[in-house]
Structure 1
């Protein structure tokens, strides 16, 4: 018999940030001229900002920070697969304007942000006193910030919890971590009587 799935409990990745080493020095001033949708203002920021806005790609809202060292930060994709594709896309763009890149890039997930729901309303005024590592100032912001500490696999996860039961998850490095963190949070809320099973 298949376990019952509560459709009110869910998570969906909204943004993936990856860093990549493309093993090539990048002449940022030259690239600012050659790449459309790029901005380079070294007086205010040491990297070149480059945006892809092409509807034919699944990562059509990807933005990049390119650094002269060959380090690339990519944000704006909704999956690790799309983030990897976006890095390979920027490498192709760089090759097209004469940058020699011969090595395979080293790509590392830095952060994933997801939205979701724990499946029921939450009393944030109670939760702030029941959980450690929380911040809640409703006159400043309607969400409660809850940082997981001491949970080895989930230790970098931070939640924003809202009274509606909606949540935002940051600090994850994989889809599995996102799903596991929602299960963990839900179990904690049930344990302290803030959610029904």
Structure 2
């Protein structure tokens, strides 16, 4: 199982005057008429910051990446804000990828899942994968056997979800 994406968010615990840093910092893109937030872009990352003091950090590839990005955000914004008030980012969503041992017949799997009254969608004309929704996460499943686990907030939850799906496929 591999982490593909981590989305986290948090608060600077203070309002941010987006005009000030955007006019003095080359890393910040802000167009008030385009979007109510500013984009802090560096090292291949784009962090969205709002005047309310909230922020969103999508596209992280690891927890270390998330922490390093947050550290860099603090460095960039330190001339404009009190970084001692910044709250650490909290994970809101994680996407993991994994693989079954064999290719999958999604039509047969879909029919079996709905016969068990599981929340499954398979419309190959609209999306090439099968979507299975559970209480804790969502799976995007592809004929190659690759599947994505979406909506987890920690690695343990994703590990349990992966095992659930692999067991489910084995009994179908």
CA RMSD of aligned residues (A): 1.5
- Aligned pair partner of 2:61 in 78, 83, 106: 78
Counterparts of residues 1-197 of structure 1 (less than 5 Å)? 11-53=1-43, 61-95=44-78, 97-131=79-113, 132-149=118-135, 155=136, 157-192=137-172
Q: 1:50–1:63: 8 Å Cα contact kept in structure 2?
A: yes
Query: How many Å apart are 1:166 and its aligned residue?
Result: 0.5
TM-score, normalised to structure 2's length? 0.90
Any stretches of 5+ residues in structure 1 without a counterpart? 1-10, 54-60, 150-154, 193-197
Q: 1:23–1:101: 8 Å Cα contact kept in structure 2?
A: no
Task: Tell me the distance in 1 between the aligned counterparts of 2:36 and 2:106.
Answer: 41
Task: Tell me the distance in 1 between the aligned counterparts of 2:141 and 2:128.
Answer: 9
Q: What does the per-residue CA deviation read over 1:1-43, in whole Å, with 9 as the maximum and x for residues that have no partner? A: xxxxxxxxxx211111110112122111112122223221222
Q: 2:94–2:150: 8 Å Cα contact kept in structure 1?
A: yes
Could you tell which deviates more after superposition, 99-108 or 176-185?
99-108
Q: Counterpart of 1:102 in 2: which secondary structure?
A: helix
Query: How many Å apart are 1:111 and its aligned residue?
Result: 0.6
Task: Tell me the distance in 2 between the aligned counterparts of 1:130 and 1:98.
Answer: 57
Any stretches of 5+ residues in structure 2 without a counterpart? none
| Number of aligned residues | 168
Query: How many Å apart are 1:146 and its aligned residue?
Result: 0.9
Task: Tell me the distance in 2 between the aligned counterparts of 1:21 and 1:88.
Answer: 14
Q: Counterpart of 2:84 in 1: which secondary structure?
A: coil
Q: Counterpart of 1:163 in 2: which secondary structure?
A: coil
Task: Tell me the distance in 2 between the aligned counterparts of 1:35 and 1:114.
Answer: 34
Task: Tell me the distance in 2 between the aligned counterparts of 1:38 and 1:104.
Answer: 18
